Amino acid sequence: MQKNMPINYQDALKVIRRLLEVAEKRNEPFETPIVMVGGTAMAAHRIRKLSYDVDIYARDFSHDAVHEVETEFRLQFGHSFKIDVTSAENIWGSIMLRDIHHSEPDTVMRSGNRDLTIQKLSPEDLFLLKLDTGREKDQDDLSVLYERTNSDRLIRRFNVIWKWHGNRDAVLGYADSFVSVMRQLGDHIPSHVIERLKIPEYMLELLYETWTDNDNEQI
């Protein structure tokens, strides 16, 4: 059995280009937006050099084209190689990225008679989505992603996407995790982060109370 081979960013682009080509030939072209997510987006930002699959979001796509290209590239990358295509806006966890079509442009590919812009999730979206999963491997990525952004952009983006969390009862815990990781990675004073969060007032009060008790901090 062939050993799985890691793929880099250029490999991922080659797979996506082939995917568009096969879908076009099948008369089942992909619909935009086409957005690199997961490890592929990390590679596009040069945050992670290698992965073992290709992760993309597409609003509508050909399952048969995905299967055909996946099978084709397993000859090169190993039997477990996977093209993970999703049309769901909740890439990880419970948060839906309702504005995923506004993701950063990365490159342009020709498909039939169309030029398609291939997009990628921003470092802020990657950070905040990974924060919500609770998976150890995602938590390990937070420090690297933090280096590619800043507190202003993270707080601004948090104030947008928390409203798209699928579990209202989990928002307070998510906000608490955000305050905690901002202190851990950027040495930000919890009260200074909390005062900039645009979440319901009762949640703000609970966060202030929690962090005052934890740190004996003057708010």
pLDDT for res 89? 79
In a domain, 3, yes or no: no
Number of domains in the chain: 2
Do 13 and 114 sit in the same domain of this protein?
A: yes
State the helix-helix crossing angle for 151-161 and 171-186, rounded to 10 degrees. Answer: 170
Query: pLDDT for 22-69, tens place per residue?
Result: 999 999 988 889 999 999 999 999 988 888 899 999 998 999 999 999
Q: Is 4 a domain residue?
A: no
Segments forming the whole domain that contains residue 75: 9-121
Same-domain status, 97 and 183? no
Residues 194 and 110 in one domain: no
Question: Could you report the per-residue pLDDT of 69-108, keeping only the tens digit for each?
Answer: 999 999 999 999 999 999 877 777 789 999 999 999 999 9
Same domain? 153 vs 200: yes
Could you tell me if residue 190 is inside a domain? yes
HEC assignment per residue over 18-51 = HHHHHHHHCCCCCEEEEEECHHHHHHHCCCCCCE
Question: Looking at 59, 94, 121, which one is the last position of a domain?
Answer: 121
Q: Does 53 share its domain with 96?
A: yes
Residue 66 lies in a domain: yes
**Distant-in-sequence, close-in-space partners of 217: CB < 8 Å, separation ≥ 6:** 189, 190, 191, 211
Q: Last residue of a domain, which of 121, 143, 170?
A: 121
Q: Examine the domain organization and report whether 82 and 180 are in the same domain.
A: no
Say if 1 falls within a structural domain. no
Regarding whether 174 and 148 lie in a shared domain, the answer is yes
Domain co-membership, 208 together with 182: yes
Q: Same structural domain for residues 173 and 78?
A: no
Instruction: Name the strands in the sheet holding 104-111, side by side, starting at the edge strand that comes first in the sequence.
Output: 82-86, 53-60, 31-36, 114-120, 104-111
188 bridge partner residues: none
Q: Judge if 102 and 137 occupy the same domain.
A: no
**What is the reported pLDDT for 65?**
96
Q: Please state, in angstroms and rounded to a whole number, the distance separating the CA atoms of residues 195 and 153.
A: 15
Mean pLDDT of the chain: 91
Residue 99 is assigned to a structural domain of this protein: yes
Rounded CA separation 35/56 (Å):
5
| Domain shared by 185 and 114, yes or no | no
Instruction: Report residue 148 as tokens.
Output: 């590619």
C-alpha distances out from residue 202 to 51, 135, 191, 206, 208, Å:
42, 28, 15, 6, 10
For residues 195 and 148, state if they share a domain: yes
Domain-ending residue, one of 75, 96, 121 = 121
Task: Please give the model's pTM, rounded to 2 decimal places.
Answer: 0.90
Residue 2 has pLDDT above 80, yes or no: no
Rounded CA-CA distance 100/157 in Å is 13
